[in-house]
Structure 1
């Protein structure tokens, strides 16, 4: 299984790419970093770099998504959605590998 982004999340990524005039071929990189209140923080970046040996690449709803194979163990099965409500706005992660998450949902423990 892989990291998946919903159609709503893909739409927001496309809007950002267009509004901020990113170059064609820019990809959404999903990863993790050490830190946050639960141990790991999620990372979303837009970049052109892609290493076929180190990264897995997917296409969801017209958005190229890249995940470092080292991070895949922690992110396998994760769904990235976009939430736009009155109480908050932003990308949300549903990670089945997380044994604990912080209150804001931006960090987790595996």
Structure 2
């Protein structure tokens, strides 16, 4: 596991922050990564990662090493206590959410149930 910054409803690891910064280099200035949860996927809920240039009034803003992550208030209860990481292993490179609220997840890692 990567080194983490604490005291946020969602913990963003150092590896995730580094990768977010790399991804956002090709985006317009002020771009941020939005993490959200919606109904769907093979396990009931799914994570979505999008680039956003605006903050909503109800967004939770998490900053780590120059990277800014947004989470909307509807998604927050599903992500509370989770760790957002970036891994590069034999299975490939990807963002991963380690979610203590999930009772199960699918093989793709983007779908879960509570």
Q: TM-score, normalised by structure 1?
A: 0.90
Match of 1:51 in 2: 56
* Cα shift at 1:86: 2.2
Structure with the higher fraction of residues in helix conformation: 1
Match of 1:34 in 2: 39
Equivalent residue runs for 1:56-67 within 5 Å: 56-67=60-71
Total equivalences in the alignment: 107
Q: Which runs of 4+ in 1 moved over 6 A?
A: none
- How far, CA to CA, are the matches of 2:106 and 2:91 in structure 1? 17
Q: 1:6·1:81 contact (CA, 8 Å) conserved in 2?
A: yes
Equivalent residue runs for 1:1-110 within 5 Å: 1-18=8-25, 20=26, 22-52=27-57, 54-110=58-114
Alignment gaps of 5+ in structure 2: 1-7
Q: TM-score, normalised by structure 2?
A: 0.87
